[in-house]
Structure 1
Amino acid sequence: MGQGLRLSVNNLACERGGRRIFEGVSFTLLPGEALVITGRNGAGKSTLLELLAGRLHPAGGKVLWEGAGERSLPECLHYVGHRDALKSALTAQENLDFAQDFLGNPALSAREALEAVGLVHAARLPVGYLSAGQRHRVALARLLVAYRPLWLLDEPTSALDVASQETLRELLEDHRAKGGMIAATTHAPLFLSEPKEIRIERSAAPSAAAGEWQ
């Protein structure tokens, strides 16, 4: 599904509060590839994903999204971060139905997505009643209700038990097999097949010129 797409990151740098967080980050992602991003706490791993998602602008370098026609990079990605962005008063199924309607390009139904993450029994429970691990699985199920080729995942194994981590690994590999692309920060092994890897190191460099985002 993602054939012809290419994500190129060239010499990317980021600043916050006038302080350089990192610089010199470069990589390329093609359909079927996964990138694992590691580094110490505060090095800028989550910030890198926010740059890729278009939530921040770089202080230097470029993010290039090619092969998607008129669709911008934010229109072609899913982002799952530390905040699950779920509405606690809605049921798990209602949250996923809302996401599918909002995002468009439907894939699995809400119920099918919950079944894929082992939560079909909780479909009609308000999300506010679920455990942290269950809420995170609902957030991951959003990846399945609307197709987008690039998945940006910030510590995707957080709050997941061993069985759920294996389910996640299978979902990630299935997405790659269909031509999808993944960039994930992690402190724990994801056990993906032959991922690319980069390590983010916090920079002490002075400020640079503003970068570009395309």
Structure 2
Amino acid sequence: MAQITDISGRLDRRKIKIAARGAEERRRHRRVRLSIPGRALSTSQGEFACRLVDVSPGGVRVAAPAELKRGERVVMLFDGLGRMEGEVVRAGKGGFAARLATTQRKRDRLADAITWRFNMERMGLKEDRTAPRKPGRGRATLSLRDGVIIQADVTDVSVTGAAFACLERPRIGEPVRVGGMTGRVARWLDTGFAVQFDPPDTPRQGQTASAPD
């Protein structure tokens, strides 16, 4: 009986690890809404202007006047995200969705760039164009409920929260506003504190095709 119990325990731990890896993969491939103008190039349409609608490291949804064909290769360039190449999986008059073809290393870099760009806009951060672009680096202004204003350096950022370096230590659970976003102080850190953002409003469905995850 002891041996059966031990095997069962190992199987349970393995299931937990597999589930954790799956959750991490889904988090990294979470689709993010970003409206960024860009340029695209395809065999059938040549070069044309487009606008990013949403993106994940695995795929994009793009608004464009050009009507592409399913299975067609497309190259896209968006400011702050760089060059992307993929295959059109859905298309219509309003735009298209493409599955990105890239290496795991580039996917990880794109995930960081997406997260940084997403939060930079929502948090009202000002990017230093002369400095190398490093996700999780910037200066933010935080407002507390009692009117206190805190200037802090962003040391880490994700879609659901961010860490800030400063001397102030707001109370755990204290409501905080960062740019156009709201949240609460989740924990104290050695160099400052971390904020968990409130969930964003559910976006309305667009007219273009949905992107792959």
TM-score by length of 2: 0.24
Name the structure where strand makes up a greater proportion of residues.
Answer: 2
Name the structure where helix makes up a greater proportion of residues.
Answer: 1
Q: Greater Rg, structure 1 or structure 2?
A: 2
